[in-house]
């Protein structure tokens, strides 16, 4: 089974779709001219402090305010810091005040009426490692389960221990040669030191670091070692991807392929539009005749499992319930990733009488969720039989991406 990342442009939209065999398992949409702010680092200015929520509002561009938690940001890098503190090279707890200029990174995009969230805990992310200013721990992705490999990776990072920053070893680093990981760590340290040294002397609202476009992040973050091909039919995108691979992931540059067929577009070849339409519908049919109803709300996402036609004429009802629930668990894990659902997800499986059936369902569901590259946690089954899942937010859910592009097109 071949894994492919298909990157194409339709009108003013860049579509990045990851396929495992014939299945589209992950997709993201972005307006061609859109420049996202998530991950960007700015020299911002503290406009006001709200004491009752222990937060500040930091301006990163003229009139663009962002939420800044004072509890979570103990070590701001201030433009008006004394030279003595800069030379000291150690984390110094500092309270920000109105008028201060400081380095901040956007860690959450704006959501409806909520402002973007910025942080002083700067992160510099590579393919194998993330450097974390303000957090001096050395951590290893929980998806790397072999203890011997976890110890090896920690020992590599320990060679670069600092009083200012730590490292998170990413899943991509598993079983990679030490030299590759060390080379990337050195690059990340250089990026951090350059911004720390020169960023504080830039003019207010300067963009000091810009995160790569989403389709490049998909290449960087999407387990490139498990992807056989990166395919695009757009010359401009092809050149951008090739330049990125040559600079940061030279070992993967042979996987890049330009699709050049005037009779059949790349999007049509993979049926991307049809698959997108299915991915935003609330109803998903199961092969057994059962169905899922997926309803995102403001606070959480609710998924209801229905027996539908699966129960018609069946005598062994409990066996049928288990069969439909097991099929639903596999499909739900797939839909969560495909639709990029995040936050709290509540699933109402079909109620089963036997404890052993419930335990089997939960065990299998947890295994399916582990395949998601984004951290997804199966919390528990409540007394009412509702299953709670949480998933880390990375970008907006697919239905919001589609709605935004529709608004952009209509405007």
Structure confidence at residue 377 (pLDDT): 93
What is the predicted pLDDT for the residue at 81? 60
150: tokens are 């976890």
Residue 33 pLDDT class (50, 70, 90 cuts): low
pLDDT on residue 88: 47
pLDDT of residue 283: 95
- CATH H-level superfamily of 37-210: Nucleic acid-binding proteins (2.40.50.140)
Out of 75-84, 324-333, 399-408, give the one with best mean pLDDT.
324-333
More confident residue, 362 or 401: 362
CA–CA separation, 43 and 102 (whole Å): 5
406 or 24, higher pLDDT: 24
Backbone angles phi, psi at 265, to 5 degrees: -70, 160
Question: Given its phi and psi angles, is residue 131 left (phi above 0), alpha (psi -120 to 50 degrees) or beta?
Answer: beta
CA gap 86, 131 in Å, rounded: 19
Name the DSSP class of 135: -
Average pLDDT taken over every residue of the chain: 88
What digits encode the pLDDT tens for the residues 247-306? 888 888 899 999 999 899 999 999 999 999 999 999 999 998 889 999 998 889 999 999
**Reduced to 3 states, what is the DSSP secondary structure of residue 86?**
helix
Minimum mean pLDDT range among 94-98, 220-224, 248-252, 331-335: 220-224
And the tokens for 252?
A: 């993967």
Longest pairwise C-alpha distance within the chain: 80
What pTM was computed for the model? Answer: 0.79
3-state secondary structure of 15: strand
Closest CA to 168 of 187, 180, 154, 178: 154
For residue 20, give the 3-state DSSP assignment: strand
| Range in 160-164, 315-319, 400-404 with the lowest mean pLDDT | 315-319
Q: Which residues contact 83 (CB under 8 A, 6 or more apart)?
A: none
310: pLDDT strictly greater than 80: no
What single DSSP character describes residue 310? Answer: G
Which pair of tokens denotes residue 248? Answer: 């940061």
**If phi over 0 gives left and psi between -120 and 50 gives alpha, with beta otherwise, what is residue 57?**
beta
Query: Does residue 237 register a pLDDT over 90?
Result: yes
Q: 373: number of CA atoms within 13 Å, CB side?
A: 17
* Residue keyed to tokens 């720390």: 196
Of the candidates 253, 221, 298, 292, the residue with the CA atom closest to the CA atom of residue 18: 221
51-75: pLDDT as tens digits = 889 999 999 988 899 999 999 999 9
Backbone torsions φ then ψ of 210, nearest 5 degrees: -115, 125
- pLDDT at residue 373, as a whole number: 84
Is the Cβ–Cβ distance between 181 and 187 less than 8 Å?
no
Alpha-helix residue ranges (DSSP H) falling in 79-232: 83-88, 147-158, 178-198, 214-221
pLDDT of residue 202: 92
| Distance (Å, whole) CA 279 – CA 341 | 11
Length of the chain: 411
Report CA 386 to chain centroid distance, whole Å. 26
Identify the pLDDT of residue 313.
53
Q: What percent of the chain has pLDDT over 70?
A: 92
Instruction: Say what the pLDDT of residue 222 is.
Output: 67
Cα-based distances in Å from 387 to 39, 117, 325, 391:
32, 30, 12, 13
CATH class given for the domain over 1-32+212-279: alpha beta
Residue 362 has pLDDT above 70, yes or no: yes
Pull the structure tokens for residue 72.
Answer: 């979570």
Tell which residue, 275, 263, 260, 256, has the closest CA to residue 4: 256
Nearest alpha-carbon partner for 258 in 241, 245, 244, 270? 241
- Strand ranges for 53-113 from DSSP E: 55-61, 64-69, 101-108
Per-residue model confidence as pLDDT tens digits over 369-391: 988 888 899 999 887 889 999 99
pLDDT in tens, 107-153: 988 876 788 999 999 999 998 999 999 888 999 998 898 999 999 99
Please give the Cα distance from 154 to 149 (Å, whole number): 9
The helix, strand and coil proportions of the chain, stated in percent and rounded to the nearest 5, come to 35, 30, 35
Burial class (CB in 10 A: 0-12, 13-18, 19+), 356: exposed
């Amino acid at each position: 089974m071949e894994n492919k990342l298909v990157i194409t442009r339709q009108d003013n939209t860049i579509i990045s779709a990851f396929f495992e065999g014939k299945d589209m398992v992950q997709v993201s949409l972005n307006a061609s001219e859109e420049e996202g702010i998530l991950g960007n680092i700015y020299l911002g200015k503290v406009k006001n402090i709200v004491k009752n929520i222990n937060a500040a509002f930091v301006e990163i561009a003229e009139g663009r305010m962002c939420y800044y938690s004072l509890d979570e940001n103990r070590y701001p890098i201030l433009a008006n810091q004394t030279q003595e503190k800069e030379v000291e090279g150690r984390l110094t707890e500092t309270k920000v005040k109105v008028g201060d200029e400081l380095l901040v990174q956007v860690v959450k995009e704006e959501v409806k009426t909520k402002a973007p969230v910025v942080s002083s805990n700067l992160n510099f992310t590579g393919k194998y490692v993330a450097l974390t200013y303000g957090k001096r721990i050395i951590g290893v992705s929980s998806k790397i389960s072999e203890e011997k490999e976890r110890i090896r990776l920690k020992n590599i990072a320990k060679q670069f221990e600092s009083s200012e920053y730590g490292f998170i070893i990413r899943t991509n680093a598993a079983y990679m040669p030490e030299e590759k990981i060390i080379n990337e760590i050195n690059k990340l340290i250089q990026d951090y030191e350059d911004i720390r040294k020169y960023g504080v002397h830039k003019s207010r609202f300067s963009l000091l670091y810009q995160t790569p476009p989403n389709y490049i992040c998909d290449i960087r973050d999407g387990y490139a070692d498990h992807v056989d091909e990166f395919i695009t039919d757009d010359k401009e995108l092809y050149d951008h991807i090739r330049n990125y691979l040559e600079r940061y992931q030279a070992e993967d540059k042979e996987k890049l392929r330009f699709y050049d067929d005037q009779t059949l577009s790349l999007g049509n070849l993979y049926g991307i539009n049809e698959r997108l339409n299915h991915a935003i519908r609330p109803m998903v049919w199961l092969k057994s005749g059962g169905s899922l109803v997926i309803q995102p709300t403001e606070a959480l996402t609710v998924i209801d499992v229905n027996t539908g036609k699966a129960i018609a004429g069946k005598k062994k009802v409990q066996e049928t319930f288990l069969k439909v629930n097991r099929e639903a668990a596999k499909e739900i894990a797939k839909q969560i990733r495909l639709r990029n659902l995040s936050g709290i997800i509540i699933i109402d499986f079909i109620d089963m009488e036997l404890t052993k059936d419930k335990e089997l369902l939960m065990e299998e569901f947890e295994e399916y969720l582990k395949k998601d590259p984004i951290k997804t946690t199966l919390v528990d089954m409540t007394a009412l039989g509702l299953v709670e899942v949480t998933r880390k937010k990375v970008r907006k859910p697919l239905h919001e991406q589609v709605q935004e592009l529709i608004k952009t097109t209509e405007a």
